[in-house]
């Protein structure tokens, strides 16, 4: 039996597997591999095992990447496919993001069988979400809503909605599109109404820093605009020292020769909110996003993250 040339590590959810298969397809198209040469290896992560409490209580970012990155370091896999919004801002020593695929739609999706928009939800309606960011943004917009923690993969959340467990839920448009479930979106929420999570809609491919062969194969898959914007967003998050215990949103855009950035931080109850924006040259993207974080830290004051994180 032919040994695989490359082993692609991924979580086992339908969405993670769809993303891994997309990387597999792109590698075949770019380099002429046979499908049998690119083995997809599923790895169960801590985040997949924890279903009984919010991830923010269990340690936040890194719960969906730790075991996969251990696979890279012990050489049981050669590359790993991640949703970039799951990635901690500091990677383990010896690992690097070698490619970011062209970004999907960054927006959040409102999904409801009864109501067309968030604004149309009746007072006291029940909305399910496992995201502290989405919960805080909803509480700011509609403090009358009842928000419940809502774990599980995309299919599980949609099934619970159909069964009437909640009146509405919010998911990433990108994930629904990648799963072929775009028809389930009731409305895409404009990003000026609900600013998305840092790196939402972006897929990153990670490998060992010293693996020049794999890095060179992945380089042709990388989208320069996505890489620039997501790198800036992650610099913003890193400066805030944010995790999924603190509601943080940030979005970079490249439009012609201009990079624009918007960022916001909220308290979990949505009552305190700080936002800022920047525009400038693409070469200054990381600097602009970092300056935006500095401004928000100054606005919020020294106790903001400690008191509410």
Share of the chain above pLDDT 90, in %: 80
In 3D space, the residue among 138, 142, 167, 165 whose CA is nearest the CA of residue 152 turns out to be: 165
pLDDT, residue 51, reads 57
Per-residue pLDDT tens digits for 248-301: 999 999 998 999 999 999 999 999 999 999 999 999 999 999 999 999 999 988
Hey, do 108-189 and 236-308 end up sharing a CATH topology, with the first three levels equal?
no
In CATH, what number does 236-308 get?
A: 3.30.160.40
Q: What is the pLDDT of residue 179?
A: 95
The catalytic residue among 52, 78, 86, 105 is 86
- Give residue 1's pLDDT: 46
Question: What's residue 303's pLDDT?
Answer: 73
For domain 108-189, the CATH class is alpha beta
| pLDDT tens digit sequence for 207-255 | 999 999 999 999 999 999 999 999 999 999 999 975 456 899 999 999 9
CATH topology of domain 6-101+202-222: D-Maltodextrin-Binding Protein; domain 2 (3.40.190)
Task: Please report the pLDDT score of residue 201 as a whole number.
Answer: 98
pLDDT at 188 over 90: yes
Percent of the chain with pLDDT over 70: 92
pLDDT for res 154 = 86
Answering whether pTM is above 0.85, one says: yes
Instruction: Flag whether pLDDT at 60 surpasses 70.
Output: no
* pLDDT tens digits for range 103-129: 999 999 999 999 999 999 999 999 999
* 86 given a catalytic annotation: yes
HSE, side-chain direction, 13 A CA sphere, residue 300: 28
Domain extents in the chain = 6-101+202-222, 108-189, 236-308
Q: What pLDDT, on a 0 to 100 scale, did the predictor assign at position 309? A: 45
- For the ranges 50-59, 66-75, 151-160, the lowest mean pLDDT is seen at 50-59
């Amino acid at each position: 039996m032919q040994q695989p040339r490359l082993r692609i590590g991924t979580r086992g959810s339908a969405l993670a597997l769809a993303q891994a298969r997309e990387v597999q397809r792109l590698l075949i198209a770019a380099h002429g591999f046979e499908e049998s040469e690119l083995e997809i290896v599923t790895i169960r992560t801590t985040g997949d095992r924890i279903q009984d409490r919010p991830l923010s209580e269990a340690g936040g970012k890194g719960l969906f990447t730790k075991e996969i990155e251990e696979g890279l370091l012990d050489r049981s896999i050669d590359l790993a496919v991640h949703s970039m919004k799951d990635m901690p801002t500091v990677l383990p020593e010896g690992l690097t993001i070698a490619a970011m695929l062209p970004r999907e739609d960054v927006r959040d999706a409102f999904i409801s069988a009864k109501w067309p928009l968030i604004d149309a939800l009746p007072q006291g309606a029940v909305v399910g979400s496992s995201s502290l960011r989405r919960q805080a943004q909803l509480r700011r917009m509609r403090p009358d809503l009842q928000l419940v923690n809502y774990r599980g993969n995309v299919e599980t959340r949609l099934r619970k909605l159909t069964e009437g467990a909640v009146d509405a839920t919010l998911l990433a448009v990108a994930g629904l599109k990648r799963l072929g479930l775009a028809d389930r979106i009731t409305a895409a929420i404009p990003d000026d109404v609900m600013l998305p999570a840092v790196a939402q809609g972006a897929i990153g491919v990670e490998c060992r820093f010293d693996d020049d062969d794999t890095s060179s194969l992945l380089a042709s898959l990388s989208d320069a605009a996505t890489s620039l914007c997501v790198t800036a967003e992650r610099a913003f998050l890193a400066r805030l020292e944010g995790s999924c215990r603190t509601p943080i949103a940030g979005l970079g855009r490249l439009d012609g020769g201009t990079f624009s950035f918007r960022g916001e931080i909220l308290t979990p109850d949505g009552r305190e909110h700080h936002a800022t924006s920047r525009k400038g040259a693409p070469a200054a993207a990381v600097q602009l996003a970092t300056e935006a974080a500095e401004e928000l830290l100054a606005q919020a004051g020294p106790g903001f993250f400690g008191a509410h994180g």
